[in-house]
Structures are given as structure tokens and as C-alpha cells.
Amino acid sequence: MTADAEVVGLIAVCKARAGLEEATRDVLLPTVPWALAKPGCVRYVLHVDRNKPAEFVFYEIWADQAALDAHWASPEFKTLVARLDGLLVERATVTLLQTIA
């Protein structure tokens, strides 16, 4: 029972600066419907860490690397990254995943 090797999973953690948690959330939340509408976006879920309310965690599944690359290369994503620069402690940490089952 092995998942499709093409599929790319991803966990991204965005750490908001103190006092900017709500502002960060307001920037991240609209990306959900926007990303889900993109070709090859299979799953795109925004969470907050229950024990660290300043840490927002994305879980994403993309049909293949090309779909993820297109997402990252899109003007909207670059705008998002620029906006987050003023809100986050550091650049988002990204863990790339291979789905097994």
C-alpha cells in the first residue's frame, strides 16, 4: 500500500512575531481557498499549534512537484512571502514529505 511517488506533501510552520499573531492569521487565512483553487492542489489545511498560538502550521498535498513549483513561482505567493516578512520571526520552515500510506 504505497502512495503515488509523484505526490508531494509539505508541512510549513510560520512563527508570528509577538503581538502580530492575529495579523499573521489574517494574512494566512485567505490563502486557503486561493491555494485550493490551484491546479494540482490536493490538500491545503491551515492550523495553529495548540500549545504555541504564535505558530501556524500548513499541511499541504500537491499532485506533483510541478504543481508545487508553480504555486511557489506564482506572483500571489511572492506577495504573500513579502507580506509575511514583516510579520514572522523568521522565514517559514518547510518539511517536504513523501506520502507512504
Positions in the binding site for its own copies (CB under 8 A): 1, 8-9, 11, 25, 28-29, 32-33, 45-51, 56-57, 59, 95-101
Residue 25: count other Cβ atoms within 10 Å of its Cβ: 17
Q: Least separation, in Å, of the C-beta of 12 and its own copies?
A: 11
DSSP character at residue 7:
-
Determine the Cα–Cα distance for residues 92 and 81; give it in Å rounded to an integer.
Answer: 9
Determine the Cα–Cα distance for residues 7 and 20; give it in Å rounded to an integer.
Answer: 34
Query: Which CB, 32 or 89, lies closer to its own copies?
Result: 32
State residue 55 phi and psi, 5-degree precision.
Answer: -105, 115
Determine the Cα–Cα distance for residues 82 and 86; give it in Å rounded to an integer.
Answer: 7
Query: Which CB, 19 or 50, lies closer to its own copies?
Result: 50
Q: What cell was used for 54?
A: 504564535
Query: Which CB, 40 or 58, lies closer to its own copies?
Result: 58
Q: Least separation, in Å, of the C-beta of 53 and its own copies?
A: 9
Q: Least separation, in Å, of the C-beta of 25 and its own copies?
A: 7
Query: Which CB, 46 or 70, lies closer to its own copies?
Result: 46
